[in-house]
Structure 1
Amino acid sequence: MQRKKRVLITGAAGFLGSHLCDRFIREGYKVVGMDNLLTGNIKNIEHLFPLEDFEYYHHDVTKFVHVPGDLDYILHFASPASPIDYLKMPIQTLKVGSLGTHNLLGLARSKGSRILVASTSEVYGDPLVHPQNESYWGNVNPVGPRGVYDEAKRFQESITMAYHTFHKLETRIVRIFNTYGPRMRLDDGRVLPAFIGQALRGEDLTAFGDGSQTRSFCYVDDLVEGIYRLLLSDYPHPVNVGNPDEITIKEFGEEILKLTGSKSKIIYKPLPQDDPKQRKPDITKAQELLGWMPAVSRSEGLKKTLAYFKEVI
């Protein structure tokens, strides 16, 4: 009888990590979840604890990582990922992108595993190219407040490629654009949970700048599908995964007010330093290499996400 493949997922109790755990369990893998719960929530994965094919390690990946037994795949999703988190924990953010990634690449090399690292559209910074494709090198301020996250992810890509070229390690890099869905934290500071939380509480929606900056929101199920396909592909270079359906923050706020039936209004505050003015992925590479495109419309995804947040509130 053929043994089940085994995958390590770091950041397993986080928003994306927990959905990836669910997906790999459904696909018949043995899943090892690892998280130090700095920003993750154990409730996101506690439904998996009774399963024979799931095990959990409470561990900080910036320290030496040891997992006994075979590992076929490693997915590195450990990191603070919202501005409110990485501005509050700048050193931890830099360490998990550097030391944590180094530790996991070393583990992958010792186990003969394929590793996929979670990068971000923030490597493009406040972009001078629109939409953003993988050949664009970005416009990042390394010493600005957002630099701790942006540069951690840029270093993560660089060391991953170094392990690929020097050690011939099987690596994959996904550049994730704005993603949303159930299990997001209402207090994580990102625009979507902030808007929905404010609307449900009857508060005014807080937008920054004049609301003309754009974002492109991808539903979590679509993102997980893209990540799954990239892991199983043979392409070692970065690939954008996101939804190119672009919308201004002002228009998005109006959508949320209509969806929730809220009588609140949108108020505007100064734009934070280095906040991107435009964000839209060029997903040509994902379409051609992976046969992937987002399938869930924003209206459909928002209804599912709103139902989750209503329960939380």
Structure 2
Amino acid sequence: MKRILITGAAGFLGSHLCDRFIAEGFHVIGMDNLITGDLKNIQHLFGLENFEFYHHDVTKFVHVPGKLDYILHFASPASPIDYLKIPIQTLKVGSLGTHNLLGLARVKKARILIASTSEVYGDPLIHPQTEEYYGNVNAIGPRGVYDEAKRFQESLTMAYHTFHGLETRIVRIFNTYGPRMRLNDGRVIPAFIGQVLRGEDLTVFGDGSQTRSFCYIDDQIEGIFRLLFSDYSLPVNIGNPEEISILDFAKEILEMTQSKQRIIFNDLPINDPLQRCPNIDRAKNILDWTPKINRNEGLMKTYKYFKDFSNSDLIKEEHKDFSKYIY
């Protein structure tokens, strides 16, 4: 049985990856320090013989006994609310954490896939974004801690690949959504759905003309799975190229949920990207991958997931104490 380590295992993407690799017959070792992850996302796996969990911070030395065939490094705060509250930890997990896991992969002779992000492109000057584009990032702006952590992560990964001959893969993840997202993490879809469920007006930043493209979780996991088992070591965009403005998207949410709330406008955050859309030609050609689930279908599944918890703490504002992680 092949053994795979998945960091960030209790998070949104990480928990779905645990499910996929369990279903594929792997022995899965999940690792998470639970800053932003939640054990509820993986509690259904705890009774399985081929799943084990380590409560550990990857910025500290990482030891996993026994052989490892693969490593998926998905540990990182991924929402603006999180990485603005814990900027130093965000930088450390992208640098020290990545270094520790690349070292572990080298010792174990394991293939490692690193989760990067479309944020490496910053506020892009080309559209849609191709993997060859170097980006337009403000390193000292409020989003810089996340953007530069991921850019450094990619550089370090490629250095291990070229200098040590390590088998590495890099996925650049564009906006992804679906069940197990945190409703109040500041990202567009959970923010809008949370406001609908709480009976609040929907908040659009700027004039709403900025664009995003949204990929459903099942499609994202399939792309990551195919990339891991490909022979391609350079970054690959995985996302849905169907683009929509934030204002039109807010209207779409209201129509889908048959809600009567208004749309209100707030100031645009500093360095908020005005356009975000992946060019997925590389994924098509190398992985034979394209997204299959359209936005309406994916949104209905996501909305149903959150609505089923409408009487729980999911729709209340979260006030998690991050103070112990700021060091």
Q: TM-score normalised to the size of structure 1? A: 0.99
CA shift, 1:265, in A, is 1.1
1:106 aligns with 2:103: yes
Superposed CA offset, 1:251-286 (max 9, x none): 100010011111001111000000000000000000
User: Quick check: 1:289 aligned with 2:286?
Assistant: yes
2:313 corresponds in structure 1 to: none
Deviations 1:67-116 (A, max 9, x none): 00010000000000000000000000000000000000000000000000
Equivalent-residue separation in structure 1 for 2:30 and 2:309 (angstroms) = 24
Q: Deviations over 1:196-229 (max 9, x none)?
A: 1101221100010100000000000000000000
- Would you say the 8 A contact 1:200–1:262 is kept in 2? no
Q: Given the alignment of the two structures, is residue 250 of structure 1 paired with residue 247 of structure 2, yes or no?
A: yes
Other-structure match for 2:318: none
CA offsets, 1:148-206, max 9 Å, x none? 00000000000000000000000000000000000000110001100011012211000
User: Counterpart of 2:154?
Assistant: 157
State the distance in 2 between where 1:145 and 1:171 align: 30
Structure 2: gaps of 5 or more residues? 311-327
Q: Secondary structure at the match of 2:247?
A: helix
The letter for the 2-side match of 1:88 is: K
The residue type paired with residue 295 of structure 1 is K
Q: Secondary structure at the match of 2:131?
A: coil
- Quote the Cα distance in structure 2 between the aligned partners of 1:92 and 1:217: 27
Question: Aligned pairs, how many?
Answer: 310
**In structure 2, what is the Cα distance between the partners aligned to 1:159 and 1:78?**
16
Q: Which residue of 1 aligns with 2:50?
A: 53
- Mapped to 2, the partners of 1:205 and 1:187 lie a distance apart of 13
1:190 maps to what in 2?
A: 187
Counterpart code for 1:287: K
- Structure 2-normalised TM-score? 0.94
CA distance in 2, matches of 1:71, 1:301: 34
Give me the whole-angstrom Cα distance separating, in 2, the residues matched to 1:307 and 1:195.
Answer: 14
CA contact (8 A) 1:198 1:205 kept: yes
**Partner of residue 207, structure 1:** 204
In 2, the alpha carbon distance for the partners of 1:23 and 1:44 equals 13
User: Match of 1:303, SS?
Assistant: helix
The offset of 1:312, in angstroms, is 2.4
Which consecutive residues of structure 1, in runs of 5 or more, have no partner in the other structure? none
Q: Which residue of 1 aligns with 2:314?
A: none
SS of equivalent residue, structure 2 residue 308: helix
SS of alignment partner, residue 148 of structure 2 = helix
Alignment of 1:5-20 (within 5 A): 5-20=2-17
Match of residue 311 from structure 1 = 308
Q: Is the 8 A contact 1:179 1:223 kept in 2?
A: yes
Deviates more, 1:255-264 or 1:16-25: 255-264
1:240 Cα deviation from its structure 2 partner: 0.1
Q: Which amino acid aligns with 2:226?
A: R
In structure 1, distance between residues paired with 2:206 and 2:251: 16
Secondary structure of 2:264 counterpart: strand
Equivalent residues in 2 for 1:28-47 (5 A)?
28-47=25-44
Q: Which amino acid aligns with 1:35?
A: D
| 1:144 alignment partner in structure 2 | 141
Tell me if structure 2 keeps the 8 A contact 1:72–1:112. Answer: yes
The amino acid that maps onto 2:65 is P
| Superposition RMSD in Å | 0.4
Q: Percent identity?
A: 76
AA in 2 matched with 1:240: N
Deviation at 1:311, TM superposition (A): 1.7
Secondary structure of 2:301's partner? Answer: helix
Q: Does 1:274 align with 2:266?
A: no
Structure 1: how far apart are the matches of 2:45 and 2:199?
Answer: 35
1:148 counterpart letter in structure 2: V
- Which deviates further from its counterpart, 196-205 or 62-71? 196-205
The corresponding residue for 2:213 is 216
1:240 touches 1:281 (CA, 8 Å); kept in 2?
yes
